[in-house]
Chain A
Amino acid sequence: MTAPIRTARESGLVACTRCARVWPMGTAECARCGSALQSRDTRSLQRVWAWLIVGFMCYIPANLFPMLKTRVLFTETDATIVGGAVELIHHGALGIALVILVASVGIPIGKFVAIAYLALTISRPAALSSHRRHKLYELVEFIGRWSMIDVFVVAILSALVQLSVVASINPGPAAITFALSVIFTMLAAQSFDPRMIWDSGSERAR
């Protein structure tokens, strides 16, 4: 009943990943939408690794330096990402602390591992099927942006809490390295050509 899967590449065609139009192999530019055409973006893995490594290098200082500097009257306290979440737990805001921990620690680390796994399993056998790995890729693409939450929280607090001597909140250096880390890992995920997941297909035989 189900016809076999036939890809554009196998048929001597090159597909446009933006508008889904197909062209004879060797066409350089899509005449419908103007995108550059490549049957497989062979250099994409290099870009993935480059962005991923830079993203990871930014993530380390993001955890060591303060994200927020809070001054109430004459005492100033610095809070790192994890420190801020621990403080929230002490205040009883367990749910919000969980949101911060998931967005700022869970998602970034999960993303580093997931993208590295996807990039590594392009050229060697994978334990997960192509379907599973593609689902993982979609998840990474969808969820990566949400790490930006903590940067926005810092921006809102810094704009809002500026009450001269009584209380003020200011951003710490980690705000910028964390933002960069999120941006670089988003670029890493975008550089990935998901069609390669299927080429390495463990479900070819199916």
Chain B
Amino acid sequence: MAAVSGDARLTDLEDIIACPQCDTLHVARIPALGQRAICRRCGYVLIAPRRGAYLRTIALALTVTILMIGATFFPFLDVRVAGMSNASSLFDTALAFVDGGIMTALSVAVAALIVLIPVLRSLLVLYVVAPLAIDRAPLPQAAAAFRLSENLRPWSMAEIFVIGCAVALVKVGDLARVGYGPAFWMFAALVVVILLQESLISRWMIWRDLDPKNRPA
């Protein structure tokens, strides 16, 4: 992206964008759809507009919410040994550590990381982006909602959980026979949708559209 030249008068700060990673100033110019504006010093993606990004983001966030509800309560995996079997849902997995003691805290953490935080983030994104998609004013506290969603981003670990499933299946393989329930496939689909959603969202565009100054009163 274009540099801010050495003697430029920095009067109109709104046209300037600073890289969050290295503090380098750029003149904010929105690239063509599908292109990315990257930081000229460190390569960080500053602006990445996509065609119909808001509508697609809404569709994906709805999909995440619905799939996650399904994936939580349908049978996830089942295991059979010597005529005995045990089916477990994602919900059971999250509750595996509940023993009334300190392990319960771990259960809560696992439930949060694989189910609650991904769903909460989708709901927050819906709340923030839905009004923007139909050119309406943002709902109250939209900026706080988007901040929270951004803070929670590293703590949404559904994709890591899927790899964990693969490892667990190999570990249990010689002890028992394992079958996949419908929730397993829902969850695998969910991970693809979450990754798509992440690649689609352009944070700078959302922040710009949330800015009260950018909306005619």
Binding site for B on A (CB under 8 A): 2-9, 11-13, 15-24, 31-35, 72, 84, 88, 91, 93, 96, 99-100, 131, 134, 141, 145-146, 148-164, 166-167, 169, 171, 175-176, 179, 183, 186, 190, 194-195, 197-198
Q: Which of B94-146 contact A (CB under 8 A)?
A: 94-97, 102-103, 105-107, 109-110, 113-114, 143-144, 146
Cβ distance B48 to chain A, nearest Cβ, rounded Å: 12
Tell me the bound Cα distance from A153 to B160 in angstroms: 10
> Is A163 within 8 A of B106, CB to CB?
no
Tell me the bound Cα distance from A24 to B211 in angstroms: 18
Number of interface residues of B (CB under 8 A): 74
> Is A99 within 8 A of B167, CB to CB?
yes
> Is B25 within 8 A of A158, CB to CB?
no
Task: Supply 15 further A-B pairs (C-beta < 8 A) apart from A6-B24, A198-B42.
Answer: A8-B18, A11-B10, A32-B210, A145-B160, A148-B113, A155-B96, A155-B106, A160-B78, A161-B79, A166-B82, A171-B103, A176-B106, A183-B109, A186-B154, A198-B23
Report which of A35, A167, A183 forms a contact with B81, defined as CB distance below 8 A.
Answer: A167
Question: What are the residues of chain A within 8 A of B24 when measuring CB–CB?
Answer: 5-8, 198
> Is A20 within 8 A of B168, CB to CB?
no
Tell me the bound Cα distance from A96 to B157 in angstroms: 20
Task: Check if B171 is an interface residue, CB within 8 A of chain A.
Answer: yes
Q: Give 12 pairs: A residue, B residue, CB < 8 Å, sorted on A.
A: A6-B25, A8-B24, A13-B16, A15-B19, A20-B207, A31-B213, A33-B210, A149-B167, A156-B168, A158-B96, A175-B103, A186-B154
A3-B5, A11-B10 are known contacts. Are A157 and B97 too (CB-CB below 8 A)? no
Question: What are the residues of chain A within 8 A of B4 when measuring CB–CB?
Answer: 3, 6, 11
Task: Check if B32 is an interface residue, CB within 8 A of chain A.
Answer: no
Tell me the bound Cα distance from A123 to B146 in angstroms: 34
Q: Which of B69-99 contact A (CB under 8 A)?
A: 77-79, 81-82, 84-86, 88, 92-97
> Is B46 within 8 A of A93, CB to CB?
no
B58-66, B172-180, B188-196 - the one binding chain A: B172-180
Cβ distance B163 to chain A, nearest Cβ, rounded Å: 6
Closest B residue by C-beta to A8: B18
Question: What are the residues of chain B within 8 A of A198 when measuring CB–CB?
Answer: 22-24, 41-42
Cβ distance B78 to chain A, nearest Cβ, rounded Å: 8
Cβ distance B71 to chain A, nearest Cβ, rounded Å: 14
Task: Check if B56 is an interface residue, CB within 8 A of chain A.
Answer: no
Report which of A3, A15, A33, A176 forms a contact with B3, defined as CB distance below 8 A.
Answer: A3
Question: What are the residues of chain B within 8 A of A34 when measuring CB–CB?
Answer: 143-144, 147
Report which of B3, B22, B211 forms a contact with A194, defined as CB distance below 8 A.
Answer: B22
Closest B residue by C-beta to A131: B42
A22-B13, A155-B93 are known contacts. Are A145 and B25 too (CB-CB below 8 A)? no
Cβ distance B217 to chain A, nearest Cβ, rounded Å: 16
Tell me the bound Cα distance from A87 to B165 in angstroms: 18
